[in-house]
A and B are shown apart, each in its own frame.
Chain A
Amino acid sequence: MIVVNTETIPGYQIVELKGMVQGNTVRAKHAGRDIAASFKNLVGGELKGYTELLTESRREAVERMMAQARQLGANAILNVRFSTSAITAGAAELYAYGTAAIVSKIE
């Protein structure tokens, strides 16, 4: 499946639009990571645990969005956007959305 955050795919044409697809997830890290993060807040530097949390959440949200697109019979998702919301400390909601479409190569 072709997933892009642009509105078009060069070399391909849109055959049929299937509508908007979306996926979301709320994830948290275990308390140990939160404690480690509060120590890091003293000395500065990257919070690897939270970076990982974002990567996992993003992957999960995109995975769910792609599953929905597959169910619609699409082979591409265009114009993917991400949005986040703060629910509580140490957790993040990640929401991915895009437009599912059937595309074909231009000969």
Chain B
Amino acid sequence: MDLIIQLLILMPIGFFFGRAAERKHIKSLEEREKACEGFFVSDLRTFPGISDASREPKMLTGEVTIASDYYKRFAGGLRNFFGGEMKSYVSLMSRARREATLRIIEEARAEGYNAVCNLRLDSADIGGSATTNKASVMVSILASATAYNTNDQAQ
């Protein structure tokens, strides 16, 4: 009975809502990335092309947690059995990283900076999947970077 409920109700819900949520997110990411074009991002430890040394640089952080949907988890489970690339999780991870990076860029722009350097991306484990069973799949990304001003966009 449980299996029937899972297959007939939860799977379609996960599939349709999950796909809609993912498409909406990717669309919003693309729009916002376009709006941030020309903003210089690097993971160098120095400040490439710094123009205004009188202004204090500032460390900014961006966080995001995204959940996978029921269908993807099911597909991931199958893939785990047969082996190979888990495509549904690849896009989940990359969406989370893009989102966290964008949050830093948007914050830096709001504060009047036009570049960030030393961008670091880490992941956190809130779901406790490392300590308990993998009942839910979610990804948390922590990004940190230092914002400064540059006048040379074409680094």
Contact = CB atoms under 8 A, between A and B. Distances in A.
Interface of A: 2-11, 37-38, 40-47, 50-51, 53-55, 58, 80-92, 94
A interface secondary structure, majority: mixed
Contact of B132 (A6, A7, A82, A89): A89
Contacts of B69: 41-45
B118 A44 contact: no
B31 interface: no
Contacts, number: 147
A94 B65 CA distance: 15
A3 B118 CA distance: 13
Interface of B: 10, 13-14, 17-18, 21-22, 25, 45-47, 50, 53-54, 56-59, 61, 63-70, 72-73, 99, 117-118, 120, 122-132, 136-138, 140, 142, 144-146, 148
10 contacts: A4-B59, A6-B146, A37-B138, A43-B14, A55-B61, A84-B123, A86-B128, A88-B128, A91-B128, A92-B125
Nearest to A81: B120
A47 B130 contact: no
9 shortest interchain CB distances as A-B pairs: A11-B53, A89-B128, A44-B69, A43-B17, A86-B125, A44-B18, A50-B65, A54-B63, A84-B124
Contacts of B124: 54, 84, 86, 92, 94
Contacts of A51: 63-65, 140
- Tell which of B13, B50, B144 has the most Cβ of chain A within 10 Å: B144
Contacts of A3: 58-59
Contact of B144 (A5, A44, A47): A5
B117 A6 contact: yes
A86 B130 contact: yes
A55 B50 CA distance: 28
Contact of A38 (B66, B118, B136): B136
Nearest to B71: A44
B2 to A, nearest CB: 15
B40 to A, nearest CB: 15
